[in-house]
Structure 1
Amino acid sequence: MNDVIIEAKGIKKTLGKGAGEVNAVRGIDLTLRRGDLTLLMGPSGSGKTTLLLILGCMLAPSSGRVDVSGIPTSDADKEQLAKIRRDHIGFVFQSYHLFPTLTAAQNVQLALDIRGERGRQAAEKAREALKLVGLEKKTKTLPAELSGGEQQRVAIGRAFVANPSIILADEPTAALDSDNGRTIMRILADAAHEQHRAVLVVTHDPRVVPFADRIIEIEDGLLVNEEADTSRRLRMPKGAALGS
């Protein structure tokens, strides 16, 4: 099994035109591997979210290339890029993007609906995904009846349910208190270490640093520093309670 899930070479992205033109990403090389939780850290406007969207095939680079699970994306059309996202990538955002009239399980199952997976088997997959994030008793609960941390866990379950190779998370703890933030990071760390996924967390939250296997700093569209320290790794014991 090839542990490299995303390989980016020479990524540049220019936004705007004329006097408003901004070089958001300025020639970045980056490789993401299974089993690692990588933090991409930088101040607002540093280019970190733009880079995440490029790695997730949601935004095309101005130049450079991105390969996802060995698949070149440079010449892919919209349908091909959508298939790559469906088959290989799970997204988690600061905003939970849950449908208020759907239960937790139904919100998770939406990720399977777009893949054409429906019926009893899809419902079971949704329940298993919620079990992974400690919400097996909340399958029939509406978002308004869940705490912010629980809503984010539903969103993570939705990202997990199609068994992607990589999880891309954009500021997943920014709207949460410390306890819920730690719960979210333990789940993401477990996704890397126990489920053998690649996990990239874009953040400026210093509270998440102890969970990282690798920390990359970005500034003005350039990677300026990288630190790899496996002693930071905080594993969640199997069967441990996740809290609320």
Structure 2
Amino acid sequence: MSSALKLLRLLDVVGESEDPVRVADLARTLGATRSEVHRHLVTLVAAGWMERLPDGAYQLTVKAAHLGHAALQHAGFGDRVSAMLVDLAAETGQSVCLAVLDDDATRVVKRAEPGTAAHVTLALGRRLDLRFGATGRVLLAFADPAVVAGLRARDVDVPTDAELAEIRERGYALIPETDPDGGLAAIAFPVSGRTGEPSVALCAVGSRTGFDPLTAREPLAAAAARLSRLTTSVDPGADAPWGS
């Protein structure tokens, strides 16, 4: 089990990199030996998950993209959602994404950019902070309390109970004014999955100097409600219209 978890953690780290990765860099990030990292990479290459480049670096194959797409399908988010996100990005003029809880962060699993130059690009696979990210704040606000308690037990920095209660009351989350980065503005709504519990966050994000997130509140709320209806009542493989 320990070896399998280490291999999966390696995949997580590779997925967070925009460029091919090298054994030494992975070993340093993971706190592992080069031989251990190399052994895992050889396994992933043999399984078809990664490939070795002529310069010695490694990169993911399209098999990883296929699994990610399948995960979205299983969660009820079919290809039709892409068009919806594109429309929402055009309407708000900002980057729009879907993100899910991923251990001590949230991870972008689908995104769209406006037709004009975007202030912020949310790359697929990017991990976002739970304490100061709008997606993490809204997902934790509506999560099982045991999830929040478990994160706190591991000393993961999460919003206070008062903050989470406030987010639940108003139904959406913003990046707080206390954000140490201070350069981003975002608003995120929860989207219910097939179990009826929010498992995905819909978010619009832009530069704090050029984007008032409250201007996107109504279109984002409507889109989140539409997505919730889609995932809870419509077969993702069907071709039913959006309104059904």
Higher helix share: 2
Task: Name which structure has the greater RCO, CA cutoff 8 Å, separation 6+.
Answer: 1
Larger radius of gyration: 2
Higher strand share: 1
The TM-score, its normalising length taken from structure 2, stands at: 0.29
